[in-house]
Amino acid sequence: MRRGALRCHCATGGLSWLALALLAPTLLAGCARTPPPAVHFFAEGRPQHLSDWHVVLREGDRLVLNGGVVPFDLNTPLFSDYAHKLRTVWMPAGTAAQYSDAQTFDFPVGTVLSKTFYYPRAAAHAEAPDDVARTYDQSRDFAGTGLDLNNVRLIETRLLVRREHGWEALPYVWNAQQTDAELARTGDEVPLELIAADGAAESFTYVVPNENQCAGCHVTDLKTRAIAPIGPKARHLNRDYRYPEGAQNQLAYLEKLGYLKGLPPLAQVPRSAAWRDASQPLEARARAYLEVNCGHCHSPAGPANTTALTFDVGTPLDRHLGLCKPPVAAGRGSGDRLFDIVPGHPDDSILPFRMASSETGVMMPEQGRGTVHREGLELIRAWISAMSGSCSS
Amino acid sequence: MRAEPMRSIAVVTACLTVLAGCARHGSHTAALSPADVAFQKQLQEQFLDAKPGTVIEIPPGTHALDRVLTLRANGVTIRGAGADQSILSFRNEISGPEGILVYGSDFTIENLAIEDTKGDGLKINDGDNLTIRGVRVAWTDGPKTSNGAYGIYPVRSHHILIEDSSSWGAADAGIYVGQSTDIVVRHCHAEQNVAGIEIENSIHADVYENVATGNTGGILVFNMPNLAQAGHSTRVFRNRVLKNNLASFAAKGAAVASVPAGSGVVVNSNSQVEIFDNDIADNQTANLIISAYFSTNYYNKPGIDPHYDPYPRAIFIYDNRFSGGGDSPDGLELKTLKVAMFGLNGHFPDIVWDGYRDEQHLVNGQPPADERICIRNGNAGVLNADGPHKYKNPTTDASQFQCELPKLAPVELPGRT
């Protein structure tokens, strides 16, 4: 399979796709063989515009992926204020990531990971661009392999780029016209209205992290202080994706493209639970959720290792995971509760209390959300409710 | 570079983008003035670009910010014009929760104030060689449970000097050093916090010539369970620990929520602690409390590391000047005990020990010589409250405390005197 197979390329002559986007859409109607500029990996510096990278391209009313840019999903994603996410990976020709059972894959220099945060537009609020839908339904998001910009509002695209000396994080914020995203090193704030299916509205400020806040999650080892991707691990990627050619396992697909080497037979590859899949065990779903939403800080090497609370994948289900554990530095985040988890009693447990808050200084995670993740909270409460045992001894 | 026509199109696009960005800023950061928005952006950029040798100057004035300032670099100095001159106000903070969050070594912060953060004021995680000088952290509405937990908070760090600094209104501890080694806290002022100054799970700390007054508890030396490091070797000397009688406003479950209002100096579950030459006065529960983790009410078997040592050991108290205090203890149990033993108008002795000791580890009915609580403090009295038996047989017999311990060496911080 060729890496450029995902999209049909439009005739662009000498113009960049950016210039094209400003021209009449009729020009875009016919597809021809001439490819647009390939993905441009910048070995250093901070390009001002997302378009400089040629990773995701504005094409008519769609945001499409350039040749060689491969989309992927995670079994259980991080909650980000109900934003939908389009994740992609691109690697230079002839290079591949090295598979690992447990760790983030070892990506080659030149790798560009992108994550575009967007919302489905609220159906009845088409004229109000800040009204976005609170839904898990992605069926209206795509037009072919591209995002349908008639139906979605782009917020930001974050790049993680693997340079010679390590990974760097670059946050780009989409403009109001949705024509391009501009570098926002110091982050941004976007006021939005989340509209539920029943019409209920919730105002919140979507916070685009600044570069140092990116590191707040992506520096998973305090000693190295190195930024690293979190999602692209075998257990998170081990699932199907609906490619234009049909649904396939993502790892097998990446291997077939030449993007992944060292992949063992799929039966031997670990797999995280999908947190919303009620057919999977409650315990596995809760643990997957906690790992992805909390484990990047709450790990033995992570910045929350000051708290004696760990949520990474191997943590035993005992005090290390918060069972009957008194808080260390929670302050008012304890919510007048004595222990992180009191088996059988979510209302007495600090963990769901902090998840149920959207107040800075109380809520956990500390950053990356301004709303409460209702369904995630419900999952963790159900998991705690189902626990037996007690903290009185 | 590419062809000219393209560049002009790019310029047009860039202009549109810039305009769009401006319009959005104006509407959604209404809490901050345009000047503050501009200041914050420029300051954030300085934090992002900081590298060894960078000095970030905070000009005089009150600067409203709505987002944590995060630093990830070694060798950086943040310097204001004075703790009452250069003020960073986080009253409108929407993304934090800290005011300033530092991951870096060889770090100095001086002469500025951090106000009204949603979480900790200044947190420094995993640094070596830290200097915090002339920094004021305050919650300006006074004591409130919704204030941030810690004012000045270095954690898992080494070689820390905190001097001439102050904290006001922290809902947990004003100046709090956690899980660290080689620490000096001197010439600081802590007032209106739940705990004034707290040394927790830390090794080799000198706390001297500070003032802790008007807090719930003045100066605390604690060891919490489950953490990577057990603390020991802290000296508390030449401090003024006065009238720490503020009603506790900590959330339940917080480490300091177990501290009764009216506590002067408190040692909990820590070892090799030396308390001498302090002025400790008018703390209405007791001027000095020695206690075990069992007295905190958080003890439970499944949640506590079985290797955790809950007992205070090797505590040496000498040559302090005590006066007043002990006359109005906090909490029904202590009140009842006080009245029963000393009458309505009486008071606890200056030193109160909760009575928990490691019964598995006694020599001739006493802790080993190098693990005892020793008191050489003139006529200061001591109460064994008999906590293990629910205060049934309290006693003021001080004979078991007549001993001495070898004195601890001063903490040396290389390059700083």
Q: Which pLDDT tens digit goes with each residue over A285-338?
A: 999 999 999 999 999 999 999 999 999 888 999 999 999 999 998 889 999 999
Sheet-wide strand order for A131-133? A131-133, A188-195, A201-208
Of the pLDDT bands very low, low, confident and very high (cuts 50, 70, 90), residue A12 is: very low
- From A266, A283, A316, the end of a domain falls on A266
Report CB contact under 8 Å: A205, B148. no
Same-domain pairing of A36 and A151: yes
CATH second-level architecture of B119-401? 3 Solenoid (2.160)
**CB burial of residue B22 (10 Å; 0-12, 13-18, 19+):** exposed
List CB contacts (< 8 A) between A308 and chain B.
Answer: 225-228
Q: Tell me: the pLDDT tens digits for A158-217?
A: 999 999 999 999 999 999 999 999 999 999 999 999 999 999 999 999 999 999 889 989
As a residue count, chain A comes to 393
Q: According to DSSP H, which parts of A274-349 are helical?
A: 282-294
Q: Tell me: the pLDDT tens digits for A51-71?
A: 999 999 999 999 999 999 999
Identify the residue among A168, A318, A360 best suited for mutation to test binding to B, counting B beta carbons within 10 A and taking the highest. A360
List CB contacts (< 8 A) between B305 and chain A.
Answer: 319
**Closest Cα in chain A, distance from residue B253 (Å):** 4
Of the pLDDT bands very low, low, confident and very high (cuts 50, 70, 90), residue A35 is: low
Identify the residue among B12, B19, B28 best suited for mutation to test binding to A, counting A beta carbons within 10 A and taking the highest. B28
Residue of A nearest to B179 (CA): A306
Q: Tell me: the pLDDT tens digits for A75-100?
A: 999 999 999 999 999 999 999 999 99
CA distance linking residue B100 with residue B121, whole number of Å: 6
**Closest Cα in chain A, distance from residue B388 (Å):** 16
CA distance linking residue B68 with residue A213, whole number of Å: 9
Q: What is the pLDDT of residue B299?
A: 86
Q: What is the pLDDT of residue A126?
A: 61
List CB contacts (< 8 A) between B119 and chain A.
Answer: 331, 360-361, 366
Angle subtended at Cα B309 by Cα B303 and Cα B310, rounded to the nearest 5 degrees: 75
What average pLDDT does range B304-327 have in this prediction? Answer: 97
How do the domains of chain B map onto residue ranges? 119-401
Of the pLDDT bands very low, low, confident and very high (cuts 50, 70, 90), residue A269 is: very high
Q: What is the pLDDT of residue A25?
A: 40
Report CB contact under 8 Å: B253, A336. yes
Same-domain pairing of A170 and A127: yes
**Closest Cα in chain A, distance from residue B173 (Å):** 9
Report CB contact under 8 Å: B70, A205. no
Report CB contact under 8 Å: A324, B10. no
Q: What is the pLDDT of residue A145?
A: 79
The residues, ordered by sequence, that sit 6+ positions from A26 with a Cβ below 8 Å of its Cβ are none
Of the pLDDT bands very low, low, confident and very high (cuts 50, 70, 90), residue A14 is: very low
Q: What is the pLDDT of residue A124?
A: 63
**Closest Cα in chain B, distance from residue A264 (Å):** 37
Least confident range of A106-120, A128-142, B147-161, B199-213? A128-142
Spatial contact of B224 and B141, defined as CB atoms under 8 Å apart: no
Same-domain pairing of A52 and A113: yes
Report CB contact under 8 Å: A219, B2. no
Same-domain pairing of A245 and A286: no
Q: What is the pLDDT of residue B255?
A: 77
Nearest-by-Cβ selection for A332 from B12, B227, B251: B251
Of the pLDDT bands very low, low, confident and very high (cuts 50, 70, 90), residue B334 is: very high
- From A216, A240, A266, the end of a domain falls on A266
List CB contacts (< 8 A) between A175 and chain B.
Answer: 16-17, 20-21
Report CB contact under 8 Å: A330, B68. no
Look up the pTM and report it.
0.90
- Complex ipTM above 0.90? no
Same-domain pairing of A354 and A308: yes
Q: Reply yes or no: is the peptide bond before residue A365 cis, omega within 30 of 0.
A: yes
Least confident range of A19-28, A151-160, B378-387? A19-28
Q: Tell me: the pLDDT tens digits for B355-393?
A: 999 999 999 999 999 999 999 999 999 999 999 999 999
Q: What is the pLDDT of residue B30?
A: 54
Higher pLDDT, A34 or A47: A47
**CB burial of residue B166 (10 Å; 0-12, 13-18, 19+):** buried
What average pLDDT does range A248-261 have in this prediction? Answer: 98
CA distances from A140 to A84, A119, A123, A143, A294 (A): 12, 11, 11, 8, 30
For A220, the domain range is 3-266
Of the pLDDT bands very low, low, confident and very high (cuts 50, 70, 90), residue B330 is: very high
The residues, ordered by sequence, that sit 6+ positions from A165 with a Cβ below 8 Å of its Cβ are none
**Closest Cα in chain B, distance from residue A167 (Å):** 15
- From A230, A247, A266, the end of a domain falls on A266
Q: How many domains does chain A divide into?
A: 2
Same-domain pairing of A234 and A162: yes
List CB contacts (< 8 A) between B255 and chain A.
Answer: 326-329
**Closest Cα in chain A, distance from residue B146 (Å):** 6
Same-domain pairing of A240 and A307: no
Is the pLDDT reported for residue B26 higher than 60? no
Q: What is the pLDDT of residue B145?
A: 95
